């Protein structure tokens, strides 16, 4: 499996990383940032475990994201040009073919896109379509889903 080797080579460009894993004969893995119910111990984490994803580390986005609570069921986060904050995320190593399964089991209005991290790297991650946030309470000030839910 290429997961552990991919982590040590995480600074590699995504395509180089893909070639690196394939050359080693391992699964093609993708680093994936999650910011809500896919996180360890939460409601949809089983969707990551089911596709043999491996937790890598906690991280923070760069300070250009805003987050909303969608009926206190799950968060919605997207990138903004200004007025954002750094949001807590978990980084997982997910088999490439498992990403489709994870996405299909996410609530409507969530998608996969690039998430920019505080360390200057970009990984795939869960992002919201802006329409989903209309009329919902903004929770950016909490810095993450876990902190928001703990405050309730």
- Tens digits of per-residue pLDDT, 65-114? 999 999 999 999 999 999 999 999 999 999 999 999 999 999 999 999 99
Query: Contact at 8 Å (CB) between 124 and 98?
Result: no
3-state DSSP call for residue 69? strand
Sheet (strand 122-128) strand order: 54-60, 88-95, 29-34, 122-128, 110-116
Pairwise CA distance, residues 54 & 14, whole Å: 18
* Domains of the chain (ranges, CATH numbers): 3-151 (3.10.490.10)
In this prediction, residue 28 carries a pLDDT of 86
Q: Considering only CA atoms, which of 13, 9, 25 is closest in space to residue 121?
A: 13
In this prediction, residue 15 carries a pLDDT of 42
Tell me if the pTM is above 0.95: no
């Amino acid at each position: 499996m290429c997961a552990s080797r991919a982590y040590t080579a995480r600074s590699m460009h995504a395509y180089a990383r893909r070639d690196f894993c394939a050359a080693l004969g391992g699964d093609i893995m993708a680093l994936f940032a999650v910011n809500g119910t896919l996180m360890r111990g939460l409601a949809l984490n089983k969707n990551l475990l089911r596709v043999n994803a491996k937790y890598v580390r906690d991280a923070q986005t760069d300070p250009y994201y805003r987050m909303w609570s969608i009926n206190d069921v799950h968060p919605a986060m997207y990138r903004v040009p200004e007025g954002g904050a750094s949001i807590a995320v978990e980084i997982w190593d997910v088999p490439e073919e498992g990403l489709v399964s994870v996405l299909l089991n996410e609530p409507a209005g969530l998608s996969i896109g690039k998430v920019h991290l505080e360390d200057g790297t970009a990984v795939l991650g869960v992002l919201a379509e802006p329409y989903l946030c209309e009329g919902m309470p903004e929770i950016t000030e909490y810095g993450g889903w876990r902190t928001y839910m703990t405050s309730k």
